[in-house]
Amino acid sequence: MNEELDKSLNRKAGFKHVAINAQRQCRLLRISYDGIPQTSIYSLKVVPLEDLPSIQYKALSYTWGHVHTLDDIQEIQLDNQIFFIRRNLSDFLAAAAASKNENGHFFIDAICINQLDYSEREAQVQEMTRIYRNANEVIAWLGLPAPEQVDNVQTLSQTSRADCGFWTAAQWAGFKYLSYQNFWSRIWIIQEVLLAPSMTVWCGTFTFPLSLFGGTSSNQSSHELGLLANGRPSTVLDYTSRLSSPAEIITTHRLCYVPRPLLDPLAQGTKVGTIQEITTDLRKATEIIVTYQSLVSDPLCRLIRKFRALQCSDPRDKLYGFLGILNPSSRAKVIVDYSKDVSYVYYQALKIGLEELYGERNDVVIPKRGDTTYLAYYCDVRDMFGIEDRESLGILRRVLDELNFETEVQEARFEAQWERQFGFRDDAEVEGLVGFKELIVRARLTSKEVVMDVDDGVHVLSNFHMKQQKVVENL
């Protein structure tokens, strides 16, 4: 993997970050002004991670952006040294100085973490939960508005979600523009949004509450499993799931709905009055639906299923970027190692997800009719990391061997047959388990199939996936 231009320039310039113990400390960027308008002074301060709850600081959530030429790079003075940053970050610093008069301490990963030090990156990535959760505010930087959208965004900044029924066409245009910004396509911002105690969305000098982008819950989205012309399976969103904007999908990820009574049932049942009064009261709403943001952490298989299409500059972060919101048992299994290639991260994601789906259950695994979980998850992880079939199936064989998957299913089948004798299971469930066992066994390609020529390999994969699909359909 070639080193990116900004990192290469910082290496050549010999920039030296102040040293830290990456497992116990972090750096914060201090922004101050020397009295000259829009002229900022940047310096780094080392703070213990355990002291973050008592420190006033803000954290920045943003996209790094691509860097291809020197035009994509800006130079700043950091601790009296030359430091190179990308244009999108430079635009934020300029906007903060120009109109917000933002100063104090900030956590900005491109500056506060030594991106040239793999061991430091590995340690700091695992502390993102603590850093973002303890920030006084997280700023979501969408970038500068396009010239043709400035008026729409400005008009939208003067309203709120509560009166969206009265929005003008310009306000709706601004809302759509913000909701589909590239910011919402980034893996890292998922945990930054969910962990933030308070978040403000910036687009240039215009600011918005995060709640503006939270509509109805997107938890009802579903996926369908289909086969391509060559037999390669792939999962796709159903048509209703595509109606949600990228911003809404993320901001409502843990949004839950709970009914709350408006009236006292006992008082209503014993109330005395005329028929007209009682009838009028009966027509009143007895409850309302309130929303809250769940704090329950997520299994990896759910995150990959929902956010597999999101991007990041380093493909390995498609796993590491979820660490802050993973459930504890799955998070403990993730080994952050930037010295390993993408295949190793794919292996970890595949194994952890399959363990979540099947290996951590205490009961007998009986798949429901039409259950495509096993095959769909394999497709999701394979496509998320861009692994070719020949390599991905070889890794799948390794994972199934390590999880002792075939033996587990055989034991589950035996237990299900035993329970059927006592009436605890019906025949359909046991037959379904037989089909599920066949589905797993078919994943174990022989060594001969793995080393075939490309053309023959495509034919084998086509037959392999078609057989899997038929087994699934017969469950």
Average the pLDDT over 387-404 and give the result: 85
- The tally of CA atoms less than 13 A away on the side-chain side of residue 287 is 8
What's the pLDDT tens digit per position in 327-365?
A: 999 999 999 999 999 999 999 999 999 888 876 554 444
Neighbouring-strand partners of residue 14 = none
Which pLDDT belongs to residue 375?
Answer: 72
Of 133-142, 336-345, 428-437, give the lowest mean pLDDT range.
428-437
Helix (H) or strand (E) holding 282: helix 275-282
Which pLDDT belongs to residue 370?
Answer: 42
On average, the pLDDT of the chain sits at 80
The three-class DSSP label of residue 301 is helix
Q: E strands within 87-205? A: 104-107, 137-141, 199-203
Which pLDDT belongs to residue 274?
Answer: 75
Alpha carbon distance 441, 468 (integer Å): 10
- The tally of CA atoms less than 13 A away on the side-chain side of residue 112 is 26
Which pLDDT belongs to residue 271?
Answer: 62
What's the pLDDT tens digit per position in 237-278?
A: 544 445 689 999 999 888 777 776 666 555 555 666 677 766
54 φ, ψ (degrees, to nearest 5) = -100, 5
Q: Which of 188, 237, 220 is nearest to 380 (CA)?
A: 237
Which carries the bigger pLDDT value, residue 297 or residue 255? Answer: 297
Of 41-50, 251-260, 284-293, give the lowest mean pLDDT range.
284-293
Predicted confidence band at 400 (pLDDT cuts at 50, 70, 90)?
Answer: confident
Which pLDDT belongs to residue 275?
Answer: 72
Which pLDDT belongs to residue 459?
Answer: 52
313 and 342 in contact (C-beta within 8 Å)? no
Which pLDDT belongs to residue 226?
Answer: 53
Which carries the bigger pLDDT value, residue 422 or residue 75? Answer: 75
246 and 180 in contact (C-beta within 8 Å)? yes
Of 93-102, 120-129, 353-362, give the lowest mean pLDDT range.
353-362
Q: Which position has the token pair 């991260």? A: 345
Neighbouring-strand partners of residue 84 = 75
Cβ-count burial of 81 within 10 angstroms (0-12 exposed, 13-18 middle, 19+ buried)? middle
Which pLDDT belongs to residue 452?
Answer: 40
Q: Find the radius of gyration of the CA atoms of the chain.
A: 27
- Residue 212: pLDDT above 50? yes
131 φ, ψ (degrees, to nearest 5) = -70, -45
Q: Which of 341, 249, 361 is nearest to 299 (CA)?
A: 361
- Which amino acid appears at position 159 of this protein? T
Predicted confidence band at 447 (pLDDT cuts at 50, 70, 90)?
Answer: very low
Alpha carbon distance 276, 126 (integer Å): 63
238 and 270 in contact (C-beta within 8 Å)? no
Of 132-141, 154-163, 420-429, give the lowest mean pLDDT range.
420-429
Alpha carbon distance 30, 78 (integer Å): 10
Cβ-count burial of 442 within 10 angstroms (0-12 exposed, 13-18 middle, 19+ buried)? middle
- Residue 230: pLDDT above 90? no
Predicted confidence band at 163 (pLDDT cuts at 50, 70, 90)?
Answer: low
239 φ, ψ (degrees, to nearest 5) = -65, -30
Average the pLDDT over 317-325 and give the result: 96
C-alpha dist (Å) from residue 466 to 177, 229, 460, 462: 41, 10, 10, 6
Q: Percent of the chain scored above 90 by pLDDT?
A: 51
Of 304-318, 363-377, 383-397, give the lowest mean pLDDT range.
363-377
C-alpha dist (Å) from residue 132 to 136, 140, 318: 9, 12, 19
Which pLDDT belongs to residue 293?
Answer: 74
Predicted confidence band at 119 (pLDDT cuts at 50, 70, 90)?
Answer: very high
C-alpha dist (Å) from residue 419 to 346, 364, 406, 437, 453: 37, 10, 20, 18, 46
The three-class DSSP label of residue 75 is strand
Cβ-count burial of 174 within 10 angstroms (0-12 exposed, 13-18 middle, 19+ buried)? buried
Cβ-count burial of 295 within 10 angstroms (0-12 exposed, 13-18 middle, 19+ buried)? exposed
Which carries the bigger pLDDT value, residue 462 or residue 300? Answer: 300
Which carries the bigger pLDDT value, residue 428 or residue 178? Answer: 178
Neighbouring-strand partners of residue 31 = 42, 104
Alpha carbon distance 211, 469 (integer Å): 42
Q: Which of 291, 351, 308, 106 is nearest to 190 (CA)?
A: 308
Which pLDDT belongs to residue 379?
Answer: 85
- Residue 450: pLDDT above 50? no
Here the tokens at position 262 are 């408006």
Alpha carbon distance 459, 445 (integer Å): 13
C-alpha dist (Å) from residue 327 to 26, 41, 297, 299, 330: 24, 40, 5, 6, 6
- Which amino acid appears at position 416 of this protein? A
Average the pLDDT over 372-377 and give the result: 71
Cα three-residue angle 37-88-308, rounded to 5 degrees? 150
Helix (H) or strand (E) holding 451: none
Q: What percent of the residues of the chain are helix, what percent strand, and what percent coil, each to the nearest 5? A: 50, 15, 35
- Residue 475: pLDDT above 90? no
Of 136-145, 160-169, 316-325, 354-363, give the lowest mean pLDDT range.
354-363
Q: Which of 343, 347, 353 is nearest to 373 (CA)?
A: 353
Which pLDDT belongs to residue 390?
Answer: 79
For the ranges 261-270, 286-295, 313-322, the one whose mean pLDDT is highest? 313-322
183 and 210 in contact (C-beta within 8 Å)? no
User: From the CB of residue 413, how many other CB atoms can be counted at a distance below 10 Å?
Assistant: 18
